[in-house]
Structure 1
């Protein structure tokens, strides 16, 4: 099953979704339907670390002063499960490969993977 974890209220996510070719993605708005620990474990297995899934751009990251803390893998997991804003978005899982974030290179790889 191919899936996208995104925020419906995020302009960047909406723009990326509009640019996608016809596909069979299952959409999960992580604000309305928070990710489960099982889903996060699947993402972790594909990404190799929780840190790769963690967004340092999140406003809570700054307001909680996390940049001055020595975060470990367990901390990244805990924060991602606590609040959706800590998941770097969007996250695509296509044919058991993970694509994290909204860089142009990443979006181009997603479009290519969906076109195949």
Structure 2
């Protein structure tokens, strides 16, 4: 299991605490593997971009209109977090639904 996020993200830290065996990948420091990014975009589409983030608010309108793949490649902090890869499945966010699917209380 891999958890993609930011080491400074409180939600990612909560998820990691509940998933101690997960491998953490800091997308700002290590980047997002292209194949995982493509699968996540295919599954979640525009929802993968966190439009409530500080990074998003710092972008001008022209940048905001760029394709999600380009935005996430250039600004990894724009990704909604965490993105969890478990047994080939992808989960976005640390929601009750995600926790239930992963068998975490």
TM-score where L is the length of structure 2:
0.78
Shift of 1:52: 2.6
Deviation at 1:87, TM superposition (A): 0.8
Q: Choose the corresponding residue for 1:53, options 48, 52, 55.
A: 48
1:83 aligns with 2:75: yes
Name structure 1 gaps, 5 residues minimum: none
Q: Name stretches of at least 5 consecutive residues in structure 2 with no aligned partner.
A: none
SS of the residue aligned with 2:36? helix
Structure with larger Rg:
1
**Local SS of the residue matching 2:3:** strand
User: Any residues of structure 2 matched to 1:60-75 within 5 Å, and which?
Assistant: 60-66=55-61, 71=65, 75=67
Aligned equivalents of 1:29 and 1:97: distance in 2? Answer: 19
TM-score (norm 1): 0.72
Aligned residues: 103
Aligned to 2:16: 17
**SS of 2:7 mapped into structure 1:** coil
Q: Report runs of 4+ in structure 1 exceeding 3 Å deviation.
A: none
Say which is worse superposed, 98-107 or 27-36, in terms of deviation: 98-107
- Mapped to 2, the partners of 1:108 and 1:57 lie a distance apart of 25
**1:106 shift after superposition:** 2.3
Contact 1:36 1:81 in 2 (8 A): no
